[in-house]
């Protein structure tokens, strides 16, 4: 069984710049690819779970969400890193564009994307799962799916920690960025292995 890290996209892996209409504007946060590569090499699954409401709001079509996610994979690949799977929620209740304006089960902090990943990949270890993100909804997702939650200070994270957004659930760890988040996760996984003792 593989440990798994569910990763938010905007503000966590790439710079938060609002709705990204121009694919070329997508830029990785410093160190993100190298950090992800450490997960890849440690045999820890790295899975993107992202809320993307740009199509629901009519800013662009759903295919643009794919282009952005593909560009992210491309930038990661340039540095030898990869996401093992990509899930996005295109929904937003009440948004104007059909068929996205619905109340769904996948918009974070709902667990739909995480449950789909577990269903599709039975080798993922639910007992050793983590969620990393820059919003309180990412930490709530962690709570809702029984994972450990890590809040990064990049993106909206700093503002969340300052109390500028509603703060419902405490993270298991507050990280400066994705690099220190993954440091912490790999250390935590190592400690759990030690706890298990000799087989």
Distance CA 139, CA 146 (A): 11
Active-site residue, 195 included = no
> Is residue 177 flagged as an active site residue?
no
3-state secondary structure of 40: helix
CB of 1 to Zn ion, least distance (A): 27
Count Cα atoms within 13 angstroms, Cβ side, for 125.
12
Q: Which residues pair with 173 in a beta bridge?
A: 150
114: contact with Zn ion by CB under 5 A: no
Q: Tell me which residue has tokens 């990869």.
A: 82
Q: How far is the CB of 73 from Mg ion (least distance, A)?
A: 17
Structural contact between residues 139 and 151, judged by C-beta atoms closer than 8 angstroms: yes
Q: Using CA atoms, how far apart are residues 3 and 45, in angstroms rounded to an integer?
A: 6
Which of the listed partners (Zn ion, Mg ion, none) does 10 bind, with a CB threshold of 5 to 8 Å by partner kind? Mg ion
Contact flag: residue 10 with Mg ion (CB under 5 A): yes
> Binding residue for Zn ion (CB under 5 A) from 64, 91, 148, 153?
91
Restricting to residues 11-50, which ones interact with Zn ion according to CB under 5 A?
A: none
Instruction: Report the interface residues with Mg ion, using CB under 5 A.
Output: 8, 10-11, 134, 155
Enumerate the active-site residues.
8, 10
């Amino acid at each position: 069984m593989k440990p798994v890290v569910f990763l938010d996209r905007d503000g966590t892996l790439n710079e938060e710049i609002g709705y990204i209409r121009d694919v070329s504007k997508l830029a990785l946060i410093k160190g993100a690819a190298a950090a992800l590569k450490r997960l890849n090499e440690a045999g820890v699954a790295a899975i993107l779970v992202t809320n993307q409401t740009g199509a629901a709001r009519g800013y662009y079509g759903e295919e643009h969400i794919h282009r952005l996610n593909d560009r992210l994979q491309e930038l990661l690949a340039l540095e030898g890193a990869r996401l093992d799977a990509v899930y996005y929620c295109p929904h937003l209740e009440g948004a104007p564009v059909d068929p996205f304006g619905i109340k769904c089960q996948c918009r974070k902090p709902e667990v739909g994307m995480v449950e789909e990943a577990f269903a599709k990949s039975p080798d993922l270890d639910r007992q050793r799962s983590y969620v990393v993100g820059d919003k309180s909804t990412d930490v709530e997702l962690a709570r809702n799916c029984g994972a450990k939650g890590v809040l990064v200070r990049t993106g909206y994270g700093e503002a969340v920690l300052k109390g500028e957004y509603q703060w419902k659930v405490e993270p298991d760890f507050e990280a400066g960025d994705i690099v220190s988040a993954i440091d912490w996760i790999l250390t935590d996984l190592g400690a759990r292995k030690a706890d298990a003792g000799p087989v």
